[in-house]
Amino acid sequence: MNPNEREMDREIEKESEEVKLRCSSENDTAGDADLARIGDAYQVLEQIGKGGMGLVYKARERATGRIFAVKVMHGDLCENKVAQKRFEQEVEAASKLDHPNLVSVYAHGKTETGEPYLVMDYVEGKSLADLIEDEGRLSSGRTVEIVEQVAEAMREAHSRGIIHKDLKPSNILLASHLGKDLVKVADFGIASMKDESVDYTQTLTETADVVGSPKYMSPEQCTGRQLDNRADIYSLGCVIYECQTGKPPFLGGNAIQIILKHMNEKAPDLPDSNPFKNLVRNCLQKEKRLRYSTVDSLIADLKIIQSGGRVKTIEEGIRKFTFLTSTMSALLLMGTVFIFVSFMNTRAPEPTLPAATKAGAPSPSPIAISEWTTDENSVASHMQGMAFKHFRDRKYAQAIPALKYVAETNKQTGKKFSETFAYQCIGQCYLSLKEYKEAKVWYEKAIEGMKQLSADDRYRMETETLSGYIEVLKQLGQKQEADLLLKQLTVRNLEWLRDFYRRTRLEDDAARVSKQIEEKINNQN
């Protein structure tokens, strides 16, 4: 890894941590003060957990002697609307669910000092994450036993229109019942409900769990698209893979690297001898239609594994009816998250001559910088903010990974202008870093993309893109090609200026520019 990449990784890690702190700050002073605040109904026995949202206590209900887990929100989050909605979401989701494999919420309220709290099942045991850490790979039999219960829990949630969105080993709790694992799926704090009247999903995805827990997120969740049950199925596939290997399918130096892998890289296969190979493949497809459509189908294949049979891939069935080309398969790997707004001005500006006529690399475009917008999705906001900040501050090495993310994710939805604009920005970053061969690759992507744009959009991007490309050609010793392209670009700019004057009925100016065009063309000849 070169120094620029190391610095880039450090910067991304730093900013990821800043997002986590902004989204769900931990109040380390809460501690013992909460013990006396839950009220007379419960006797707090000990603190058993701590997270970004609050503290979790083991408590005894005084009236019945029953043991519960009580989650109390951090006091400093009580004024945080995102945190409040997340807590409300968990209460609302849990109130709709009643299943032996789900952690139930029995009561909720506020402490004497105003912090919201939840009273939940207390699960005596460990999480699946703890089990995998302790034992490494799990046996096929134990994996089936655990995963089948998780799937049953998800079937109940999905039947109620609830998508968990944060299914991972640490949210799968394991109790012991009659010598076997009893699964309890917990933490519906970022779940989404199809029939909810308030759109929590955009706000709730700003929390640190989404930004900071990318190892189990589906490509569509990574990119902020609309989710359905198959997002949970993808997450469950990641969990199964980890049960069988001791690690998630995708790892990276930071959250963004892992997100990009979920979006763009084929999930690694389990060995041919592993009975879960095709089941996991059916879960971890980038394209939703190639995954299990319901957990019922997944449960049916678990039973096939249990009986010693072979699970077929969904792709095998689809091939009976559809021919999937390699090109289509490649396109299906892409995702979308960021929106680069097209330049829609009521009146087009009079153009300047190409920046490549000046010495050195072009400066960041003020027009380009003005086109960055804010997205409510957490990953989008974080990445877009990073790209804007670094591009504006001319920290080009740090801007490149965010810009590549933008380019890749806009490709799927056919936002050709946004995709092409991102390519141009990446080319400019590499040019500024004097990495001319890389710059040439990305400028050529932008030039190819411009061919598919409308005439107005093409003009808005053409001058700056070709100016940068001309400078790259000069630096690579292709001066003749650069000079020819510069002359062609100058003529096109003058042609546009002539048409502009004609539209605004400035005929004298139009005639003057027409003469300049004629002179330029004659000079080329």
Q: How far is the CA of 370 from the CAs of 340, 364, 374, 459, 475, in angstroms?
A: 10, 11, 11, 17, 29
d(C-alpha 509, C-alpha 457), whole Å: 24
Q: What is the 3-state secondary structure (H, E, C) of 65-79?
A: CCEEEEEEECHHHCC
CA distance 510 to 500: 8
Amino acid at 225: R
Half-sphere exposure of 416 (CA within 13 A, CB side): 10
Low-confidence ranges of the chain (pLDDT < 70): 1-39, 51-52, 189-212, 316-385, 456, 459, 491-525
Task: Output b/e per residue, 193-208; b: 16+ Cβ within 10 A.
Answer: beeeeeebbebbbbbb
Predicted local distance difference test score (pLDDT) of residue 512? 63
H or E stretch covering 35: none
Dist CA 288 CA 220 (whole Å) = 9
Q: Taking a C-beta distance cutoff of 8 angstroms, is the pair 102, 224 a contact?
A: no
* DSSP per-residue codes, 400-427: HHHHHHHHHHHHHTT-HHHHHHHHHHHH
The DSSP code for 108 is E
Q: Which of 9, 34, 166, 187 is catalytic?
A: 166
Residue 325: predicted pLDDT: 34
Q: Which CATH number fits domain 31-121: 3.40.50.1820, 3.30.200.20, 3.50.50.60, 1.10.3720.10?
A: 3.30.200.20
CATH 1.10.510.10 fits 125-331, yes or no: yes
Residue type, 483: D
Q: What is the pLDDT of residues 339-376, one digit of tens each?
A: 233 322 333 333 333 444 344 444 444 334 434 444 44
Question: Is residue 39 within a helix (H) or strand (E), and if so which, with residue range?
Answer: none
pTM here?
Answer: 0.56
Which tokens go with 488?
């062609």
Boundaries of every domain in the chain: 31-121, 125-331, 355-524
CB 436 within 8 A of CB 472: yes
Residue 343: enclosing H or E segment and its boundaries? none
Q: Are 164 and 311 in contact (CB under 8 A)?
A: no
Q: Three-state DSSP class for 54?
A: strand
CATH for 355-524 (3.20.20.140, 1.25.40.10, 1.10.10.10, 3.90.1640.30): 1.25.40.10
Q: CA angle 163-165-166, nearest 5°?
A: 135
Cα torsion 277, 278, 284, 285: sign: positive
DSSP-H helix ranges across 324-433: 326-331, 366-370, 378-392, 396-412, 416-432
Amino acid in position 506 = L
Please determine whether the domains at 31-121 and 355-524 fall in the same fold group of CATH.
no
Query: Known catalytic residue: 166?
Result: yes
> To 5 degrees, how large is the angle CA 97–CA 100–CA 101?
85
